[in-house]
Structure formats: C-alpha cells, structure tokens
Structure 1
C-alpha cells in the first residue's frame, strides 16, 4: 500500500519490481487489499498481453494515512536513540516517505 500511496496507481510489474515480491505472494497480498476495499484491480489486455492496473481507493488512502499517524505516535513515544534507529531502518526499506 505504501507504494500505491505515493504513486496513486501502478501496474502489477511495477509493484513487483518495487517490492521484490514473487508474483504469487504479491497477488495474494493484493487480493486481501482488494477484499478489504483498499485497492481497486483492473485487468485488461494491451497488445494481446495481460495487464493488471492497481489503484489505491479512498478507503485505502484513509486507512494508510491513519496507519502512518499511529506509527508516528509509536515512534515519537520511543526514547530518542530508539527513534533514530527506527527511522534509519525504515528509510533503508523506503517506508519513511
């Protein structure tokens, strides 16, 4: 969801490359997000090749915004040394945007 939060919509291959997940694993996660109403999945053919587009829904955007707020609260409650470590680790993973 973090990737879609930044780019709004993307295709399956872009998300797979960004997350380094296997196609099956990513598909499983996306199915759960779609079932929750967080992601809209559109499947079509482009030049006879399957293409899956993913868009973060308003519900998904709101849920991720709340998640970010809660994580910031948790991190800010940590001692300063721990807070710095958490930010460094998440920045390496591309989660601290």
Structure 2
C-alpha cells in the first residue's frame, strides 16, 4: 500500500473495522530502487482475520488503497500462555 509513513498506513488500516487483526497490523516499509535511489513509498501490511471475514477484509483493504493481497492459511495461534497450561500448572501446584 502506498503511504507517506508506516504510521499513516497503520491509521488507514485501523480505520476499518475488519482490519484490526489480533493486536493490530504489522506495517513494514517495502524498499524499491528508482532512478538509482532507494525509496520506501510502499508498505506491506500483515493482519490476521477470521476466514469468515476474509472477503469483507479484502474489500476494506482495497477501499483504503491496498492492492496485491496475499492470503495464507493460519494453522496455529500460540498465545503468550494458554489457559490449559495455566490449569495444568495450577493442578500440579506450580
């Protein structure tokens, strides 16, 4: 997505209800070489959305200037600490 800064792109992404992701988007500069100079006019965005919200999320990305959307299936999400792990530790008295 084109933008003037990572913050500006993040603001656009977060203005859309389906694009917040788990904790927010990851926004990274994409470096291009133009006329012998390196520039970062584009930004890559990584978000996690539920499968049922995929089409709506792609529409929202396009509405704010996103293009070249890549979709990868997410197999696992490991939280900082799972509730089952906490229960096991509690039962073991640890």
TM class by shorter chain equals: under 0.3
In the superposition, the TM-score normalised over structure 2's length comes to 0.28
Larger radius of gyration: 2
Comparing both structures, which one devotes a greater share of its residues to helix?
A: 1
